[in-house]
Amino acid sequence: MSSNRQADARPSPLRAPLLFLAVAVLLLLEGSVSNAMFSGSWNSALALLNMGLISAVAALGVNMIWGYGGLFNAGVVGFIGLGGLAPVLISTPQVAGAWAAGGPRLMLALAAGLATMVLIWAAAQRLRGLSRGAVVTLVVVAGYVATRMLFDPAVAAIEANNPAKAGNIGGLGLPVVLSWPVGMLLAAAAAWGIGKVALGLRSDYLAIATLGIGEIIVAILKNEGWLARGVLNITGIPRPVPYELALQSNPEFVAAAARWGMDAATGSGIYVKLCYAAIFIAVVLTLILLTELALYSPWGRMMRAIRDNEVAAAAMGKDVTRRHLQLFVLGCAVIGLSGAMMVTLDGLMAPGGYNPLRYTFLIWVMVIVGGSGNNWGAVLGAILIWFLWIKAEVWGPAAMAVLTSPLSAGGLRAHLIESAPQMRYLAMGVVLLLVLRFAPRGLLPER
Amino acid sequence: MDLLNALVTFLNFVFIPASAYGAQLALGALGVTLIYGILRFSNFAHGDTMAFGTAMVILLTWGLQALGITLGPLPTALLALPPAIALTAALALLTDRWVYRHYRRIKAAPIVVVMASVGVMFVMNGLTRIVIGVGEINFADGARFVVTVPQFREMTGLTEGLSLRTTQAITLVIAALSVWALFVFLNRTRAGKAMRAYADNEDLALLSGIDPDRVVRLTWIIAIALAVMAGTLYGLDKTFKAFNYFQILLPIFAAAIVGGLGNPVGAIAGGFLIAFSEVALTYPWKKVAEYLGFEPSGLLQMLGTEYKLAISFVILIVVLLVRPTGLFRGKAY
């Protein structure tokens, strides 16, 4: 990354608009042309755009961390999951009896756990020598026992409350958009904790530590039934846009859809997705505006100076570790926002689906391909790679069928066609390696 | 008698499984630590390379079984291991030539090489998925047990039984042999000394006429041999499932860092430390406590098995906080 930055010539100013136009054409083709490659369904094109925009938010967060800090967050999936927890806790309706069953005890247990950690930290800071080890061990054991004694009965009580339909602590019933900043806060808090430990050491350590926290957050989401029902999933999370069924029973909307030449079902799907797209585009543009303003401010120049030469920046009196922590927390908050947006779009919290290859490393491919250090590049890379990722599932087997047509219809050909959807992992890896090697500045290089 | 029963229960449910798992982690961590020490980056592709190598072993095992060749009481996979190592090592050498060599030449920042290893991870993951799929595969054959629970009960007359699975015994034997061979190689042979010299001080090693390309090649071959062995033993012991090999990456990294990145002795110690902590903290100690004369009300399980990853993570965090260079003073700074 750093070694090639000055080498290349300044790219043409038309490059970004043209590339965005190309992506738009791809989406338009998906919506209008129906053949072996495109589905010809506007619903499918808009769904691709919406998930692409959410990926773009995550990519913007990763780009802040990587493009402007040179830090490697290998646990993006965890921060997306944490962000996704916020709509569940903030906007789902309250579960009758859950709070009464174990709410206060649960809070007490969490407070006890937190107090234990603070005490451990304080003991480790203040004491020295043998007493330090002894006191820390004592606090760990006592704190663990106390927390478990409070936590287990509270959880059992909450999970026993209407287990078929609920069994979780429930939400606050607030509007779902309010949960987005909460998702940012949750992700930022986790990022602060992990960054405090791992930053300032070797650069690989942050990568490994974030890999761990990502896996653990997903494990917590899957297994803590009281929190968000775990793998039982939470459905019907409120959304900020109208429901399809409500639109279909609205005669005015049906008439309007008919005027556009669509039946009510297709029309309502498109209308809802357009509403989402408008909200998401607004979020992406706001984020780009804010990050661009920050990056061309003295703060942004300092950040790039630190990335390009940490030693020199430190010699100029910049606290490198602190700035890295700041950037890491901000970037992770943006990743958390994307998680909250995704759960809002799906109306579903399904922790079983949080796969690191899809939610951590694919986002990384988007940033690298788009152009690390360039916010527009991150957005472009996100929409483009998401489009290719989804379409490769369709294109892969078709391409394989053509490629293997000389082979006789034996077991090998069947196996190859069958495993072609898996081909996209291979393809993404090859794309990442090629871009890193031959175009390390990506499609839209940093200015 | 109760004391003996408690001891046997401990051996059966904690000591033996943790030793086998620890040996597998140690082999994996040795590979990570060697690559870190000599190529100077954390190899995120290690887990998926293990998966790919194991997939090769499984395919060759199936081939051998189809030809009617087995190893009798031992798993056929052992016979398939050497050619699978050769295949995977050849792939790794190609990867090094096509991917990593470029970054060594331009002296890229370590984190960029880590990013490239993420790309390799994707490729390896894709290859494994294409070659063998994502389902669970059990490829252990031969005798299942060295000692079974009823046999042990009959021999000793204790109420508690102890079983030693063939795969566990094989894991321990192979791990001990390969660690011994590795240390003989590193300490006694010219090539091994060249590797250590290169890890210690690259410039000085170059000045002494050590061929860097040869050192790099040797490192890959050794690391891959260890990785494929670790992956195969892990797959024999549990079952083969591609995603588990991505998840084992965290304990392996934790083991390497706990011992001190770049330090082979540390990697082994770290592997066993992680494995014993994981098994001991997720095992319900109720039965052992009862034999020792306690009357516990709960299961005495510190942590559910679904959080075993959290244990490696917490150990990793504590080491990063208290002693970032690891227990055995690795190269990290």
| 8 A C-beta contact, residue A65 and residue A327 | yes
A203 touches chain B (CB under 8 A): yes
End-to-end CA distance of chain A: 14
The nearest alpha carbon in chain B to A195 belongs to B317
| Residue A327 belongs to a domain | yes
| Residue B135 belongs to a domain | yes
| Residue B148 belongs to a domain | no
The ipTM assigned to this model is: 0.88
| Residue A447 belongs to a domain | no
Does residue A16 surpass a pLDDT of 70?
yes
Do residue A280 and residue A426 come from a single domain? yes
Q: What is the DSSP secondary structure assignment for residue A352, as one 8-state letter?
A: G
B130 touches chain A (CB under 8 A): yes
Q: pTM of this prediction?
A: 0.90
Residue A2's pLDDT is what? Answer: 44
CB contacts < 8 Å between A and B, how many? 146
Does residue A6 surpass a pLDDT of 70?
no
Domains held by chain A: number: 2
| Residue A410 belongs to a domain | yes
| Residue A6 belongs to a domain | no
* Per-residue tokens: B5: 């029963």
Do residue A386 and residue A275 come from a single domain? yes
Does residue B142 surpass a pLDDT of 70?
yes
CATH number at residue B259: 1.10.3470
B321 touches chain A (CB under 8 A): yes
| 8 A C-beta contact, residue B13 and residue B238 | no
Does residue A27 surpass a pLDDT of 60?
yes
Do residue A269 and residue A373 come from a single domain? yes
Residue A95's pLDDT is what? Answer: 80
Interface contact A422-B246, CB threshold 8 A: no
CATH number at residue A253: 1.10.3470
| Residue A5 belongs to a domain | no
Residue A10's pLDDT is what? Answer: 67
Residue B301's pLDDT is what? Answer: 80
pLDDT tens digits, one per residue of A167-193: 777 778 888 889 999 999 999 999 999
| Residue B17 belongs to a domain | yes
| Residue A2 belongs to a domain | no
- Which residues are CB-contacts of A12 (< 8 A; sequence separation ≥ 6)? none
Q: Which of A113, A135, A170 is the last residue of a domain?
A: A170
A122 touches chain B (CB under 8 A): no
Pairing, β B164-165 against β A348-349: unpaired
Which residues between 214 and 253 in chain A have a beta carbon less than 8 angstroms from any beta carbon of chain B? 215-216, 219-220, 222-223
Give me chain A's average pLDDT, please.
86
The nearest alpha carbon in chain A to B252 belongs to A208
pLDDT tens digits, one per residue of A388-441: 998 888 887 788 778 777 777 677 777 777 777 778 888 889 999 999 999 888
Could you list the residue range(s) of the whole structural domain that residue A324 is in?
15-26+36-93+171-438
Distance from CA of A290 to the nearest CA of B (A): 27
Interface contact B250-A198, CB threshold 8 A: no
Could you list the residue range(s) of the whole structural domain that residue B221 is in?
2-140+166-322
Query: Which residue from A70, A419, A433 is facing B99, i.e. has the nearest CB?
Result: A433
Cβ neighbours of A113 in B, within 8 Å: none
| Amino acid, res. A52 | G
**CA–CA distance, A85 with A190 (Å, rounded to integer):** 13
The nearest alpha carbon in chain A to B106 belongs to A3
The nearest alpha carbon in chain A to B112 belongs to A1
Interface contact B310-A361, CB threshold 8 A: no
Interface contact A425-B125, CB threshold 8 A: yes
B121 touches chain A (CB under 8 A): yes
| 8 A C-beta contact, residue B40 and residue B119 | no
Distance from CA of A270 to the nearest CA of B (A): 34
